[in-house]
A and B are shown apart, each in its own frame.
Chain A
Amino acid sequence: MSSIVLENVSKAYGDKSIIKGLNLTIESGSFTVLVGPSGCGKSTTLRMIAGLEEQTGGLISIGGKSMNQVEPGKRNLAMVFQNYALYPTMTVEKNIEYGLKNNKVPKAERKRLITEIAETVGLTKHLHKKPEFLSGGERQRVALARAMVKKPAVFLMDEPLSNLDAKLRQQMRIELIELHKKLGATFIYVTHDQVEAMSMGTQIVLMDGGRIMQEDTPHGIYNEPRNMFTSHFIGTPPMNILEIARSGGILSETPHGAKFFGFRPEKAKFVPEPGLAREEMLELDAVLSSRELLGSEVIYKAGLAGGQSVAVKCFDCPERSLEPVKLYVNKEHLFFFDAQEQRIPADGSRAGVTVPSIGSTA
């Protein structure tokens, strides 16, 4: 098995701490996406798993074996780099063959594997070209082929699609998902793009400032954000977060310790949901200030009393002029956060770790 375990892993460059006491288990066969803003430590984490960087402290093990003293080339993993890192002086064939050669795979076997992999990724007719003569998409395939041919238990990918144009990226996303299903290997994928993370991952690890903010399924991370960072990072536009104190008492009751509340832009409606009692709804007076048309959906920006503003996303709705409106949000869709920006669960069942006194809400 090839599950990957990071125990209390930290990384610092001199005085500068990048990763602080990271604990993470990546299940064998999962498609785990490490996502977060730039500088959050996601790439460093990936590179430590690869062995390209040595952790300053802690333990990394793959399939139950400690990797701390294992060379990168002997960890039974392959990596696809952001810039592909193809060897420019070698042909496509030699690029793919290089790792096999270093691992002393016999020549006949190498030839067979290369032919097979070239067939799979559609590179057969490019085998004798040098990378500089290939298009971006073709280079991407070479990078994949070079990783796949080693039949590793773990694939590491560091923003592999960021150099492709939007259309090709879309297509490659689907191909990678299919590839993951076919190979059944563990994929660890680093990206700063939350859309990529949500659409590809079976498991998402959201990081910020060298710590894990939330580790969940795409569904969980969207619907049950555990803190304000998560709620803000995932979703386009991000969740509307308002300060309770500045909202002029529009909320009749708030959980104990709550400082902020929020709702997703698509949960704000211009008309009350039918069959919903008044007290089950939050009612906001707002002035629409801008409008962004994105085909089937429209995003409005709305200013509230007290200087705060929210985004409203609606689907298939007629265009509105920019004027004062009333917004309605089903109270079921409200999220509450405490002063430490941790989520206060509605039912208290998924208590945030840093919130001390959930029980005394009622």
Chain B
Amino acid sequence: MKTLIRAPGLVLRILISVLLIVIFLTPFYWMILTAFKTLGEVLAMPPKFWVQSLQWQNFKDAFTRIDFLHYTRNSLIITLGTLIGQVLVVVPAAYAFARYDFKGKNGLFGTVLATMMIPGQLIFLPIFVMFAKSGLLNTYVSLIVPFIASGTAIFMLRQTFMQVPDSQLEAARLDNAGEFKIIYTIMMPAAIPTLSTLALLTFIGTWNSYFFPLVWTTTDAVRTLPLGIQRLQDIEGLSPQIVMAGNMMLIVPILIVFVVARKQIIKAFTYMGVK
């Protein structure tokens, strides 16, 4: 009896599961498939769901039609710069907010939290004007510095620092360690999980960043890979196989990171969603 009642439910479950997998997998599959097709296969109707031979040439084309290395190098420089800058700026601030009582602390920390609620895309224009006036347009600085004082990072790291027991800092003080030594020998090692989570979030965010490199640059000098791929679309829009090949090269690094640190990334995003 019981199995009879449950059977239709189970079939429905399996159907929905398959449907979900198809929905979320198809776009990726279609991108990869297209990237390996010939132009003839791309335009064929009905479309082909498999390819005869892998067209690696598409990747070579994508690589050479735009200055792929130039954009990649910019992406790497800006990602790395943001990571380093964030450590230098966020760690001391989070430490002070976690460990000191000082006049105006609540006000300053409130300001930090408030900036988390301000959508950055709303204020790109005044910042563009500021960069234009100060000659910072088309520099790495303009694409790094605005992002290194992340409110989210300060908030998360402060939570972590607050969990280090007082007595450990006191022990360190008795061991004749100065404040900066305490930060990098006691606090930072204790915050390695949080720091690596933040590094992952920053990497994903910066590598994918499209809007700000678009609106805060007027030349290709410091533009990043997503903008390079858009350029590829502009000049090779009629050859989807080349665009998709380029697109794959943009996605793969993120996917590799995701496969390696899947659990940590999901945890980090969950944390951001429920804070």
Contact = CB atoms under 8 A, between A and B. Distances in A.
Contact of A81 (B167, B177, B186): B167
B77 to A, nearest CB: 31
A85 B170 contact: yes
Contacts of A272: none
A146 B181 CA distance: 18
Most chain A beta-carbon contacts within 10 A, residue among B168, B175, B186, B190 = B175
A3 to B, nearest CB: 20
Contacts of A51: 173
A290 interface: no
B172 interface: yes
B167 A72 contact: no
B165 interface: yes
Interface stretch (A96-104, A195-203, A336-344): A96-104
Contact of B167 (A83, A89, A90, A103): A83
A73 B185 CA distance: 16
A99 B192 CA distance: 22
Nearest to B177: A102
B176 A79 contact: no
B246 to A, nearest CB: 43
Interface string B150-180: 0000000000000001011011111111000
B46 interface: no
B8 interface: no
A74 B176 contact: yes
Nearest to B167: A85
A82 B167 CA distance: 9
B189 interface: yes
A85 B175 CA distance: 12
Interface in A46-91: 47, 50-52, 71-74, 77-79, 81-83, 85-90
A163 B186 CA distance: 23
A94 to B, nearest CB: 9
Contact of A52 (B173, B177, B189): B173
A71 B174 CA distance: 8
Contacts of A73: 173-177
A72 B181 CA distance: 15
Contact of B170 (A52, A98, A99): A52
B177 A98 contact: yes
Given A83-B165, A85-B167, A87-B186, A98 B172 contact: yes
Contacts of B171: 79, 81, 85-87, 146
Contacts, number: 65
B170 A72 contact: yes
Interface residues of A, number: 26
**Residue of B168, B181, B192 most packed against chain A (CB within 10 A):** B168
Nearest to A78: B174
A322 B176 CA distance: 62
Contacts of B189: 87, 89-90
For this complex, into which size category does the number of interface residues on chain B fall? 10 to 19
Looking at B173, B174, B176, B186, which has the most chain A CB atoms within 10 Å of its CB?
A: B174
B174 A72 contact: yes
Contacts of A85: 165, 167-168, 170-171
Contacts of A71: 173, 176
A99 B177 CA distance: 8
A90 B165 CA distance: 15
Contacts of B168: 85-88
B167 A87 contact: no
A195 to B, nearest CB: 25
A146 B175 CA distance: 9
Nearest to B171: A85
B173 to A, nearest CB: 5
Nearest to A73: B176
Contacts of B192: 89
A77 B175 CA distance: 9
B121 to A, nearest CB: 39
Contact of B175 (A47, A88, A102): A102
A74 B177 CA distance: 10
Interface in A152-167: none
Given A87-B186, A89-B190, A98-B185, A79 B174 contact: yes
Interface string A10-25: 0000000000000000
B175 A99 contact: yes
Given A82-B167, A102-B181, A87 B173 contact: no
Contacts of B181: 102
Contacts of B186: 87, 89
Contacts of A99: 174-176
Contacts of B177: 73, 98, 102
B214 to A, nearest CB: 42
Given A85-B165, A98-B185, A50 B174 contact: yes
B99 to A, nearest CB: 14
Contacts of A78: 174
B179 to A, nearest CB: 11
Nearest to A150: B175
A146 B167 CA distance: 14
B163 to A, nearest CB: 11
Interface of B: 165, 167-168, 170-177, 181, 185-186, 189-190, 192
14 contacts: A50-B170, A52-B173, A72-B173, A72-B174, A73-B173, A73-B177, A81-B167, A83-B165, A85-B165, A86-B171, A87-B172, A88-B190, A89-B189, A103-B176
Given A71-B173, A72-B173, 16 more contacts: A52-B173, A72-B170, A72-B176, A74-B176, A79-B170, A82-B167, A85-B168, A87-B168, A87-B186, A87-B189, A89-B189, A89-B190, A89-B192, A99-B176, A102-B177, A103-B176
